[in-house]
């Protein structure tokens, strides 16, 4: 290996390496010889490296330069020159050679040789000829030694045939490049390719879901290599109310927290609930709760239809009967019965429905959390109200402290309500 790499280096000690007589003959041929002689010189592995460099840089015939590009004795520091050659065949040839050399060169990524190779590949990754870029993409998508810089260039290519294989398969592609691509509102196929990568980090998963692209979101949820944090799963479950395509893959997702499974059962289609109940990783209590939640939501819809009463009337009746509790309000939320939920808040807090509507219309997390606290409901429910009624942005959501407690002090929440003119 050492001898192999040594042969690729530009010659430094010319007095030891040169054959003076042969060197002089090669120099004359390179400058004044006809094409046939220069081709012989360009194809020979015994030709001095300085002469090959000269031919790569100066020879007017593309056939000669192509022969130099394919010559195993041509020094690596000549490859950036050949990568910028105006002849397409020359560039294709040097790309072919670099791809063969890259595994060995990548073992020493600090070397000058590697730097020359990456410089040349960088030029080829931006080549105007799509055939060259496609060749690089196809060869580098599965290669462990692909330089991250080159992967990034190819991934950002406007042509699907070039970028899609890198986006889908290349492990060398950095999260920074992927997030940059997602932030630029790419074509849908690009988001889908990213969603199906073998490994998808938490940040990239968040960006895919935030794109609101339904097929890509479905692919991501199905992908066992995608990292979905608890916060992201909460967001996905919230969105799954509007995107039924996400419900089944969620129900089949390994390690789905039982609390989230119960929440999903509250609004998912019947077939999805059956999938949840058929899982063998939930304990008996969880399965019973999923079943009870599902039945309760069905009863809610049935009673609402039979009684034909408004949300406000239903909240008033249940409050009078002493049955207006958190589960029933969450049932209403799950069934998209906004009027009932607003009216329930009004009954529990003593504030008017108009004031309640104004709080949610602010789309601000602290007033919503404070209103939920005032209604005597849990912080876990406050999170759902922020997401679903308040439409608070994911980055601004206030989450339960320790998974269940209010993170704001009573004084802070009283101040929030006072600031809104409610106290």
Establish if 42 belongs to a structural domain. Answer: yes
Last residue of a domain, one of 125, 157, 182: 125
DSSP states along 306-340:
HHT--HHHHHHHHHHHT---HHHHHHHHHTT-HHH
Specify the pLDDT at position 208: 96
Reported as a single tens digit per residue, the pLDDT across 313-340 is: 999 999 999 999 998 898 888 778 899 9
287, two tokens: 């399965």
Q: Which of 117, 112, 109, 61 is nearest to 89 (CA)?
A: 61
- Tell me, what's the pLDDT at 306? 63
Residues 165 and 138: beta-carbon distance below 8 Å:
yes
The residue with tokens 């207006």 is: 324
Phi and psi angles of residue 406, each rounded to the nearest 5 degrees, phi first:
-70, 130
* pLDDT score at 14: 41
Q: What is the pLDDT along the chain (423 residues), one digit of tens a residue?
A: 444 444 444 444 344 468 899 999 999 999 999 999 999 999 999 999 999 999 999 999 999 999 999 999 999 999 999 999 999 999 999 999 999 999 998 888 888 999 999 999 999 999 999 999 999 999 999 988 999 999 999 999 999 999 999 999 999 999 999 999 999 867 899 999 999 999 999 999 999 999 989 999 999 999 999 999 998 998 898 888 889 999 999 999 998 998 888 888 877 877 888 888 888 888 888 888 888 877 777 777 666 666 778 889 999 999 999 999 998 898 888 778 899 999 999 999 999 999 999 999 999 999 999 999 999 999 989 998 998 899 998 789 999 988 789 999 999 999 999 999 987
Please check whether residue 30 lies inside any domain of the structure: yes
In a domain, 405, yes or no: yes
Final residue before a domain boundary, out of 89, 110, 125: 125
Residue 421 backbone zone (phi > 0: left; psi -120 to 50: alpha; other: beta) = left
Query: Residue 59 belongs to what domain range?
Result: 1-125
Q: Which residue, 72, 95, 125, sits at the end of a domain?
A: 125
CB 340 within 8 Å of CB 324: no
Position 86 in a domain: yes
Domain annotation covers residue 190 = no
pTM, full prediction: 0.72
- Contact in structure between 56 and 69 (CB atoms under 8 Å): yes
Cα gap 182→206, rounded to integer Å: 11
| Structural domain contains residue 153 | no
Give the pLDDT confidence score for residue 130 in this predicted structure: 96
- Number of structural domains (the chain) is 2
Cβ within 8 Å of residue 17, ≥6 positions away: 11, 48
Coil, strand or helix: which one is 158?
A: coil
Contact 206, 190 (CB under 8 A): no
36 occurs within a structural domain: yes
**Residue 412: inside a domain:** yes
Q: What is the pLDDT, as a whole number, of residue 263? A: 83
Tokens (6 digits) for 321: 């009967």
Secondary structure (H, E, C), 112-147: HHHHHHHHHHHHHHCCCCHHHHHHHHHHHCCCCCCC
Asked if 232 and 207 touch (Cβ cutoff 8 Å), the reply is no
């Amino acid at each position: 290996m050492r001898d192999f790499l040594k042969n690729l280096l530009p010659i430094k000690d010319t007095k030891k390496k040169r054959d003076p007589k042969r060197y002089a003959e090669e120099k004359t041929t390179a400058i004044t010889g006809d094409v046939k002689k220069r081709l012989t010189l360009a194809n020979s592995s015994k030709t001095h490296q300085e002469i090959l460099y000269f031919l790569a840089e100066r020879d007017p015939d593309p056939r000669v330069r192509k022969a130099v590009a394919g010559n195993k004795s041509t020094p690596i520091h000549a490859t950036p020159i050949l990568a910028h050659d105006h002849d397409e065949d020359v560039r294709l040839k040097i790309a072919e050679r670099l791809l063969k050399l890259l595994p060995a060169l990548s073992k020493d990524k600090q070397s000058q040789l590697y730097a020359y190779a990456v410089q040349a590949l960088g030029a080829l990754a931006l080549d105007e000829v799509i055939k060259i870029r496609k060749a690089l993409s196809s060869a580098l998508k599965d290669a462990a030694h692909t330089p991250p810089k080159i992967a990034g260039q190819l991934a950002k290519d406007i042509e699907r045939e070039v970028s899609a294989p890198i986006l889908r398969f290349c492990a060398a592609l950095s999260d920074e490049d992927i997030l940059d691509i997602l932030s630029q509102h790419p074509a849908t196929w690009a988001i889908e390719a990213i969603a199906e990568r073998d490994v998808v980090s938490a940040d990239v998963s968040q960006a895919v879901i935030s794109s609101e692209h339904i097929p890509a979101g479905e692919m991501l949820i199905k992908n066992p290599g995608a990292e979905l944090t608890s916060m992201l799963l909460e967001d996905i479950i919230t969105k799954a109310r509007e995107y039924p395509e996400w419900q089944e893959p969620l129900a089949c997702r390994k390690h789905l927290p039982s609390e989230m499974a119960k929440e999903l059962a509250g609004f998912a289609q019947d077939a999805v609930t059956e999938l949840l109940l058929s899982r063998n990783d939930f304990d008996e209590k969880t399965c019973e709760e999923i079943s009870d939640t599902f039945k309760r939501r069905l009863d809610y819809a049935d009673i609402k239809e039979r009684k034909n009463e408004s949300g406000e009337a239903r909240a008033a009746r249940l409050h009078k009967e002493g049955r207006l509790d958190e589960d029933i309000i969450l049932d209403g939320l799950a069934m998209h019965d906004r009027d009932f939920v607003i009216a329930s808040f009004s009954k529990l807090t003593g504030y008017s429905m108009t004031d309640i509507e104004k709080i949610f219309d602010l789309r601000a997390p602290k007033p919503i959390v404070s209103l939920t606290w005032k209604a005597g409901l849990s912080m876990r429910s406050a999170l759902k109200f922020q997401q679903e009624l308040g439409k608070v942005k994911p980055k601004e959501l206030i989450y339960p402290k320790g998974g269940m407690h209010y993170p704001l002090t009573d004084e802070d929440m009283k101040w929030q309500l006072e600031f809104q003119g409610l106290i």
